[in-house]
Structure 1
Amino acid sequence: MLSLGIFGWIIIGGLAGWIGSKIMKTDEQMGILLNILVGVIGGLIGGFILGAFLDVEGGGLIFSFFTCLFGSIVLLFLVKLVTARR
C-alpha cells in the first residue's frame, strides 16, 4: 500500500476525503487541502482498523481507496462527535 508514492496518496486521499465529506455532509466546511488531509489520515486509520481483520497491504489500488474512504468516514464521524458537544 505504501508503494503508491506521495502523488498516489494525495490523489487517493483527496478523492476518499471528498467522497467521505459528501457522505458525512461536511463538504461545505472543507476545502481541497482539508479533504486530502482527511483522506490521507483516514487511510492510516482505515489501514489500522482493517489491518486487524484483513490483509490491507495486498489489496491493490481499489482496496486502498476503500480503506481510505472507510477511515475518512470514521475520522469525520469522530470529529463531528467531538465538535457537536461544544
Structure 2
Amino acid sequence: MGEAGIGWLAAIIIGGVAGWIASILMKANTGIFFNIILGVIGAAVASFLFGLLGISFGGWLGYLVAGIIGACILVGIVRAVKN
C-alpha cells in the first residue's frame, strides 16, 4: 500500500470500492467489511503478481484497478476451495 503512494485511510476507502466492484463482477454476496478486506488484500496480491511480470500500478486509479483484479482472483480462489 505504501508503494502505491496513498495513505491507509485512502487504501481502506479504495479497497472497499474495489471489493464492492469485484463482488458485483463475480456475483459474490459479501458485506462491506469483507469487501474492504478483499479490495485491500486483492490490491496487494495483484500488485505482487503484476510486479513479477514487470507491470506496476501507481496512484489511486492504479490501486483501484489492482484491487478489483486481485479481489476477483481471491473470490475465484475461495470459490474453488469451497467446491
Can you list the C-alpha shifts for 1:20-55, whole angstroms capped at 9, x where unaligned? 01111112xx11101001111101111111111213
* Residue in 1 that maps onto 2:66: 67
TM-score under structure 1 length normalisation: 0.85
* Residue in 1 that maps onto 2:12: 10
> What are the residue-to-residue correspondences of 1:3-82 with 2, within 5 Å?
3-27=5-29, 30-53=30-53, 54-56=55-57, 59-82=58-81
Superposed CA RMSD: 1.2
Q: After the TM superposition, list the runs of 4 or more consecutive aligned residues in structure 1 that deviate by more than 4 angstroms.
A: none
**What is the aligned residue count?**
80
1:79 deviates by 0.3
Q: Aligned partners of 2:78 and 2:28: how far apart in 1?
A: 10
Q: Which runs of 5+ in 2 are unaligned?
A: none
Identity across aligned pairs (percent)?
38
* Residue in 1 that maps onto 2:82: 83
Q: Aligned partners of 2:25 and 2:79: how far apart in 1?
A: 13
Q: Which runs of 5+ in 1 are unaligned?
A: none
